[in-house]
Amino acid sequence: MSLNNFYKLRKNFILLGLTGKMQSGSSEITKLLSQEKLDKEQIDFFTNFQEIYKDISDGESSKIRRINDFFKYEGNWVKFDVLDYRNVLLLFMLHHNYDENSQKFANNISSWICRLGNYKDDYPEKDKFITPRFGGTVDLAKGSDTFLKTDFKDALEEPLTKLNITFEKDTLLDFLDKTEDNFFFNENYKQFANLFYKQLDAYSPFLRHKLMHVSAYCLRRFGTLEIEVIKEDSENLGLNHIYIIANAINQLIKIHRKASLGVNKDKVAHVIIDRLKNSYELMYFKEKYSGFYMIASNCNEAERKNRIKEKYDNLTFKTDKEENLKLISDLDETEYKVKEFKKGIFDSFDVENCVQKADYHMYLNRVEDNKTILKTYSSAADKIKDKELEKTNEFYVYQPHSLQILKLIALIQQPGLITPTYIERIMQIAHTTKLNSGCISRQVGAVVTDSSFSVKGIGWNDVPQGQAPCANRDLRDLINNKEKDFTQFELGNTDYTYDDGESFNKKIKSDFVKFSTNLNKNLEGRPCAYCFKTFHNNYEGVNNQVHTRSLHAEENAMLQIAKNGGQGLYNGNLFTTASPCELCSKKAFQLGIKNIFYIDLYPGISQQHILQGGMKSSSNPNVYQFQGVIGRGYQKLYEPFMTIKDETILRSGIQPTPKPKKESEPELNK
């Protein structure tokens, strides 16, 4: 019996988003997913791994075999079309500068880029972080205008004629709403886009990166690339245009689905959005499509930076190579950790938030990539048997990226095909646990286990038992001197004063008055939560995490063990949704934690200063970035549509033959 119609929605439409830092492995992912067919080596990967690794546990090897068998059936491989985010930005640029005459069209583009860069001094102070641009203050920009108006412009003229794209006077979104031409996914447009960026790289890769940043920022903030509108600015823009690029991507996907009719007239589309780096655009697709899965591509940091250097070492361009590389590295860090979000500016790239919201985490291990595999041990005894492991002190080896990709695609099409890894199971507990947090800054969950991965403690970042969580407090109650939920220090009932002689209570009341106009209207029924640490640190002029009211998730998990009877954690494991800070790292080291797994990297020097600080390297904990399914994706990918037993019977028709009934025997269930 065929159940294909049952899975049709998942099979016919799959939308993936891809995020991560520069050179963290996204190109390898899109390259494999865009293949028409898997090659023989990829199909036979299980056999290859069995030959290389003799000590893979039976449980893990059976999962790999299930994935391998799934893709040996040719109909289960789905090819993905890559929707490159930067090519969407280029579409906005082409629309904005369009002219029927290709010479004027090329001139419009080059002149617009020059004008965009030369407006560096006309932006309001809060937008200064988007400079420098073409024509900006850095030495790289010197001569860029000349290059753009000559070599760059000339290189675009003939390709623009061949591109044969015609825009109407509508906005780009209106244009896309009317057209059924699937030009964006055609090779002609992709080739033009590659040429466009290659020409910019010929002068300066950094300025090309910066142009993408500034264009995306202006579209999300102002809804246009029109210089005069951008220059004028407005204090009341709000979030009116935050989804303009996401809406364009959505329109392009709709066009692609209409153009991709299958044999049965089903609208088939498999699309991966590459370089999705704004978390609000990410949430747009999560809320809009049940078939959307976000992938975070991660990589060893030293290896990743080396890949960036290698990439630009192999390029030839007119500006200083070292300066380009330095500025690109700085930009890489900027787009990962954007502070403007805390100021209410949501228009920039924020890769850190994207990684935190991902459903599937991949980790690229370049060294002998096709010869690595996850080792899973069912007991401590298995670990002792592995002499190679004992010798190298290596506990966990990342799966090759091809296996990681195939696992995801298999689970999307057949949820529950395999069971989770033990790393996924325990990290999912930590991920769910973080939702208990009463911290208003960041929710973190943690789990500690013994050496056999038996869970011993669960914690989340929150205040000690008996105190009021920050999420449950309202600043207006403190201002009105309601003593419940607030400490004596906050109420001003101590002798402590700051350098100006004022108490905490007096200072926070003064700040409240400054911003209390229309407060109730702006909050729309929500509590007026506040972070004590933020206010106290600012009043003292320091940045000290000791002043937080909450315990960190990791220390809370450890303390739960001591609180409820105590149990040793020597050679145990710590799972945390954010890598441990310096304080928690010291506690983990002291307890003898051997392996630490985390999802998102917490800022600080804990790894280099504490976790790698043992007099012998063998005493240092192993630290691993998480690899696998998490969050809502865990439920969607590991919960079968129907029981595996029932589905197998329906598909195969194999059923037990009942024992023949004797005439004297009563009927069953009568």
Q: What is the pLDDT of residues 334-359, one digit of tens each?
A: 888 877 666 666 788 899 999 999 99
More confident residue, 250 or 616: 250
State residue 380's pLDDT score.
36
More confident residue, 318 or 9: 318
State residue 372's pLDDT score.
38
Q: Which residue intervals of the chain bear CATH 3.40.140.10?
A: 427-462+550-625
| pLDDT above 50 (res 153) | yes
Segment 522-566, tens digit of pLDDT: 999 999 999 999 999 999 998 887 889 999 999 999 999 988 777
3-state helix, strand, coil in the chain (%, to 5): 50, 10, 40
Dihedral, CA atoms, 544, 548, 550, 551, nearest 10 degrees?
30
State residue 302's pLDDT score.
85
Would you call the peptide bond into 666 cis, given omega within 30 degrees of 0 as the criterion? no
Segment 203-247, tens digit of pLDDT: 999 999 989 988 998 899 889 999 877 766 555 456 889 999 999
State residue 119's pLDDT score.
57
- Mean pLDDT of the region 92-99: 96
Instruction: Indicate the pLDDT class of residue 284, thresholds 50, 70 and 90.
Output: very high
Instruction: Indicate the pLDDT class of residue 129, thresholds 50, 70 and 90.
Output: very low
Sign of the alpha-carbon torsion through 627, 633, 634, 636:
negative
Residue 155 makes CB contacts below 8 A (sequence gap 6+) with 195, 199
Spatial CA neighbour of 119 closest among 103, 133, 109, 107:
133
- In whole angstroms, what is the distance from residue 351 CA to residue 625 CA? 16
Instruction: Indicate the pLDDT class of residue 371, thresholds 50, 70 and 90.
Output: very low
Segment 484-532, tens digit of pLDDT: 899 999 999 999 999 999 999 999 999 999 988 899 999 999 999 999 9
For the record, the structure tokens of 248 come out as 């364009």
On the 0-12 / 13-18 / 19+ scale of CB atoms within 10 A, 112 is middle
- Mean pLDDT of the region 454-473: 95
- In whole angstroms, what is the distance from residue 291 CA to residue 493 CA? 55
State residue 172's pLDDT score.
96
Q: What angle do CA 202, 207, 208 make, to 5 degrees?
A: 65
The matching CATH number, chosen from 3.40.50.1000, 3.40.140.10, 3.40.50.300, 3.40.50.2300, for 427-462+550-625 is 3.40.140.10
Question: Half-sphere exposure of residue 505, counting CA atoms within 13 Å on the CB side?
Answer: 18
State residue 378's pLDDT score.
35
Spatial CA neighbour of 148 closest among 177, 190, 113:
113
Give the chain's largest Cα–Cα span.
Answer: 102
